[in-house]
Amino acid sequence: MDRVETLLSETLTERAGHAPPGPVPLAERSRRVRTSMTMIAASVAVIVVAILAATLHTGGPTQPPTQHSAPPLQPDLPAGIRIASYGQASVQVPAALLTRRSLCGGPVAQEVVADAGTARLCPVVTTSLASQPGIVVWLSAASQFTPYASIPMSPAEVDGRDAARGYATDKPGLGAGVSGVVRFPANGITIGVTAPTRIAVDDILSTIVIAPVNPLGCAANLDAATTAPPGPSDLLVPSDASGAVSCEYGTGSTSGQLIGSYTLDPPDTAQLTTALNALVPDPCRCDHGGTPAPGYTEVLYFRYPDGSTLRVTGDIGANLDSYTNQSRTVANYSSSISQLLARLTNQR
Amino acid sequence: MLLVRSHEAALLRLAYLLCRDSARAEDLVQDALLRVLRRWRSVGVSDHPFAYARKVVINEYLAWRRLRSASEQVGPVEDSAVFDHVEQLADRDLMWRLLGELHARGRAVLVLRYYEQLTDAEIASIVGCRLATVRSITARALQALRAHPMLATILEEA
């Protein structure tokens, strides 16, 4: 150990002697006023995580899909925390934050913003963060523009990988507070956080993990998404699922790239199951033609008490959504399933 | 449970080094022991109930800091001195103060390594991240300490 490490060890040993002697009462809860472990109130804390990725064109052969059918992993997360994923990057964020995929229109506030590649379609794109105290708004157009790009960055190592990192305080265009940004040159992913304090920024940036499969079991690319045995032909989703994971893959500049992943608890899973099973195969079975509008892909993994997993893949288009379990394919013209999923997973 | 209670003092020391506040440390350990108590059927028969309790303390602390830090400013801790000039700082008082300026995860990793004397693999298991991440966090936290001008001055004089 060097001098710093030795001093560190000596300091901790000495300070440990200042700890309360105990014992800690277990018969009843302490009457001490305690910090609520529920999520941050809007007026107290604001954290925005903006995840922006460059186009992930690999230029190489398509990866074969993974053949195992094990259920997606469920990370052991602290209470009030969820995973936000984008491409190969995952980060832990407050569970109460909504997710916005559209970069169009009004201010962004207390949200996870995941660029789904649709910004260029917006008639109006928000290009700056609001300056209201305590509120941070972030927006970036596609893969080229981000307010965080103006923050000077220095080389860093994040999750064992080469990266660049920078910080700014009360920077015009980013809103009041501290802004931190991490960028990975290898895959072009940029993660920005704006919060009232540096500690809050670092508490999120320090949870960045880069992996081909995220902690919920969503592959970074649609081509590598976990497969599962085909489902029944008479019913899209058997109704006794104990939970579900939704992996969303983008379109346009984010085509095939993971742009969001969410877990659904048993009640939400049941609600989604009922809605999906209400759909029927497309009675028209005709070519709907026209110029295909940009859409995205929703890969849903339903877990069952016996340990099995059912995969339902949804192709979400502008006029028609279709869902398949490989044995049964159903159609939805009303976007009701997408809207339900957005509500269940706290998106807007 | 008696086994864990006999290690309560160790849990309190760990919690105190993380929270830097006696009251909060006691709350943290109380939460951890209650959680261990609720899961005693599975935890109690394991080889390392104390290790489980320690893991709960760490995770509760990190979760608490993540929820609080958005509104919390770094400020004076419970028993830190008021410093006017670097020459008046004791080495350890300065290091204690600098530890308070680290982010929660970095401080937790340093405490587990330099006080609890745990390996990187053990730390990774407790904190719930990869080995490379533990090393990265440790390196960054130590770098932040080493780079502080006040500490650098003292070390040069040593």
- Taking only the tens place, the pLDDT of each residue in B77-133 is 443 333 333 443 468 888 998 898 888 889 999 999 999 888 998 899 888 888 888
What secondary structure letter does DSSP report for B79? T
| Contact: A4, B155; criterion CB under 8 Å | yes
pLDDT band for position A246 (cuts 50, 70, 90): very high
pLDDT at A40 over 60: no
| Contact: A92, B66; criterion CB under 8 Å | yes
pLDDT mean over B18-31: 87
| Contact: B139, A80; criterion CB under 8 Å | no
Residue A41 neighbours by CB under 8 Å, 6+ apart: none
Residues of B in contact with A26 (CB under 8 A): 30, 33-34, 37
- What's the farthest any 2 CA atoms get from each other in chain A? 77
Q: What is the pLDDT of residue A247?
A: 94
Q: What is the pLDDT of residue B10?
A: 86
| Contact: A22, B8; criterion CB under 8 Å | yes
pLDDT band for position A245 (cuts 50, 70, 90): very high
pLDDT mean over A130-156: 56
What secondary structure letter does DSSP report for B119? -
**pLDDT tens digit string along A203-230?**
777 777 778 888 888 998 898 888 889 9
% of residues, chain A, pLDDT over 70: 62
Angle at A199 between CA A89 and CA A84, to 5 degrees: 25
More confident residue, B137 or A251: B137
Tell me if A29 sits within 8 A of B35, measured CB to CB. no
More confident residue, A195 or B65: A195
| B25, B34, B132 ranked by CB distance to A159: nearest | B132
Tell me if B105 sits within 8 A of B62, measured CB to CB. yes
More confident residue, A303 or A105: A303
Q: Which of A298, A315, A255, A251 is nearest to A57 (CA)?
A: A255
pLDDT mean over B26-34: 84
Count CA atoms closer than 13 A to A238's CA, side-chain side: 17
**pLDDT tens digit string along A55-107?**
333 333 333 333 334 444 455 677 777 778 887 788 877 776 666 666 555 55
Q: What is the pLDDT of residue A38?
A: 30
What secondary structure letter does DSSP report for B86? G
pLDDT mean over B131-155: 85
| B16, B69, B115 ranked by CB distance to A203: nearest | B69
Tell me if A330 sits within 8 A of A281, measured CB to CB. yes
pLDDT at A238 over 90: yes
Average pLDDT, chain A: 71
Q: What is the pLDDT of residue B33?
A: 81
Q: What is the pLDDT of residue A306?
A: 87
% of residues, chain B, pLDDT over 90: 15
Place of tokens 């001490």: A32
SS3 sequence of chain A:
CCHHHHHHHHHHHHHHCCCCCCCCCCCCCCCCCCCCCCCCCCCCCCCEEEEECCCCCCCCCCCCCCCCCCCCCCCCCCCCEEEEEECCEEEEEECCCEEECCCECCCCCCEEEECCCCHHHCCCECCCCCCCCCCCCCCCECCCECHHHHCCCEEEEECCEEEEEEEEECCCCCCCCEEEEEECCCCCCEEEEEECCHHHHHHHHCCCEECCECCCCCECEHHHCCCCCCCCCCCCCCCCCCEEEEEEEECHHHECEEEEEEEECHHHHHHHHHHHHCCECCCCCCCCCCCCCCCEEEEEEEECCCCCEEEEEEEECCCCEEEECCCCEEEECCCHHHHHHHHHCCEC
% of residues, chain A, pLDDT over 90: 17
Interface test with B, best of A2, A11, A13, A30 (most B CBs within 10 A): A11
User: Sheet containing A161-169: which strands, arranged edge to edge?
Assistant: A98-100, A111-114, A48-52, A190-195, A178-183, A161-169, A154-158
| Contact: A199, B104; criterion CB under 8 Å | yes
Do β-strands A243-249 and A98-100 pair in parallel, antiparallel, or remain unpaired? unpaired
Q: Which of A70, A80, A92 is nearest to A38 (CA)?
A: A80
Q: What is the pLDDT of residue A286?
A: 54
Q: Which of A217, A343, A331, A347 is nearest to A285 (CA)?
A: A331
Q: What is the pLDDT of residue B91?
A: 81
CA distance B18 to chain A (A): 10
Residues of A in contact with B110 (CB under 8 A): 8, 12
| Contact: B13, A40; criterion CB under 8 Å | no
pLDDT at A148 over 90: no
Residue A254 neighbours by CB under 8 Å, 6+ apart: A53, A55, A56, A115, A116, A117
ipTM of the complex: 0.84
Average pLDDT, chain B: 76
Range in A113-117, A180-184, A269-273 with the lowest mean pLDDT: A113-117
**pLDDT tens digit string along A318-328?**
667 889 999 99
- Cα–Cα dist A49/A99, whole Å: 9
Tell me if A271 sits within 8 A of A339, measured CB to CB. no
pLDDT band for position A264 (cuts 50, 70, 90): very high
| Contact: A24, B65; criterion CB under 8 Å | no
pLDDT at A5 over 80: yes
Tokens of A94: 């407050």
Most confidently modeled of A134-138, A223-227, A267-271, B150-154? A267-271
Q: What is the pLDDT of residue A63?
A: 34
